[in-house]
């Protein structure tokens, strides 16, 4: 990933790319504004699954990202890691969740694969934008009855906490995208990603989630500052990157009248 590409493209291609990129950003901004206005509230109740902590009502989940992305071919990659739930928000206001990251913790282990549609493993990401799509992603929402500490063994993400851990929900990819942008005067890069995921409550854990029936779609988005990104020989690691999760309202069936 550290070798600069020597391919030169006509200026007309660059202008077309910039125009399309700006148009895409405008669409994303509009979609994000609409999503913010529509974020539904939810309540997590730790006591319902045997954890020590008070219930919390929010509409946004703030997470920290600990992950490793590795190229497996010229344009294919894998990513694995953990998303640590650090806090909650409701209507843009920070919400205190008594017990979170002291008497209990929440996190999401995940595994993903994808491929680049712009750039390849030899592209110098410090100077050139790359982009791609996620092909697969699976995750679970896990609770531990203690705080959790995240880090790496070599380049493999790792978590330590007290047992017993319990899986509260699982999900998989509906669609997702990745982008890497040059930063800091072309001396570093900023990887970002977004994904729409299914959300399935684990059997017997429904009491943790409210309302019922609970939401079945989860939105996720991540942008990682350059200080959280460490290049490796085959990709990069993210240590304490930033992101957010929120749910999508269930679609309502329409009644037809004659």
Which residue ranges make up each domain of the chain? 11-247
Largest CA distance in the chain: 65
Task: Give residue 21's pLDDT.
Answer: 44
Sole residue written with tokens 């219930």: 55
Task: Give residue 2's pLDDT.
Answer: 33
Q: Is 53 in a helix, a strand, or coil?
A: coil
The contacts of residue 29 (CB under 8 Å, 6+ apart) are: none
Task: Give residue 252's pLDDT.
Answer: 56
Task: Give residue 249's pLDDT.
Answer: 86
Task: Give residue 202's pLDDT.
Answer: 98
23: left (phi over 0), alpha (psi -120 to 50) or beta: alpha
Under a CB-based contact definition with an 8 Å cutoff, are residues 223 and 244 in contact? no
**Of 190, 205, 209, 213, nearest in space to 65 by CA:** 190
The DSSP call for residue 142 is: E
Task: Give residue 169's pLDDT.
Answer: 98
The contacts of residue 96 (CB under 8 Å, 6+ apart) are: 56
Task: Give residue 32's pLDDT.
Answer: 43
The kind and range of the H/E element at 32 are helix 11-38
The contacts of residue 86 (CB under 8 Å, 6+ apart) are: 62, 63, 64, 101
Point out which residues pair with 110 in neighbouring strands: 81, 139
Ordered per-residue pLDDT tens for the chain, 258 residues:
333 333 334 444 334 444 444 444 444 444 444 444 579 999 999 999 999 999 999 999 999 999 999 999 999 999 999 999 999 999 999 999 999 999 999 999 999 999 999 999 999 999 999 999 999 999 999 999 999 999 999 999 999 999 999 999 999 999 999 999 999 999 999 999 999 999 999 999 999 999 999 999 999 999 999 999 999 999 999 999 999 999 998 765 444 444
**pTM, to two decimals:** 0.83
Task: Give residue 243's pLDDT.
Answer: 97
């Amino acid at each position: 990933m550290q070798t600069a590409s020597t391919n030169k493209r006509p200026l007309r291609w660059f202008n077309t790319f910039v125009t399309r990129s700006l148009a895409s950003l405008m669409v994303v901004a509009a979609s994000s504004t609409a999503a913010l206005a529509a974020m539904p509230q939810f309540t997590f109740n730790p006591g319902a699954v045997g954890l020590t902590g008070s219930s919390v009502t929010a509409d946004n989940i703030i997470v920290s990202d600990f992950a490793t992305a590795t190229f497996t071919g010229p344009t294919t990659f894998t990513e694995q890691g953990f998303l640590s739930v650090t806090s909650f928000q409701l209507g843009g206001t920070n919400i205190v969740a008594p017990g979170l990251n002291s008497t209990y913790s929440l996190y999401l282990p995940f595994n993903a694969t994808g491929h680049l549609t712009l750039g390849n493993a030899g592209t110098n990401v410090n100077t050139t934008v790359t982009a791609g799509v996620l092909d697969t992603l699976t995750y679970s929402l896990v609770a531990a009855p203690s705080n959790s500490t995240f880090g790496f063994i070599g380049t493999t993400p790792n978590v330590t906490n007290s047992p017993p851990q319990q899986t509260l929900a699982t999900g998989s990819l509906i669609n997702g995208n990745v982008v890497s942008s040059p930063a800091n005067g072309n001396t570093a890069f900023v990887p970002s990603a977004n994904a729409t995921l299914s959300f399935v409550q684990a059997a017997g854990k429904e009491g943790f989630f409210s309302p019922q029936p609970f939401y079945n779609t989860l939105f996720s988005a991540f942008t990682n500052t350059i200080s959280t990104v460490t290049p490796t020989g085959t990709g990069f690691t993210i240590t304490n990157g930033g992101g957010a999760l929120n749910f999508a309202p269930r679609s309502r069936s329409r009644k037809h009248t004659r």
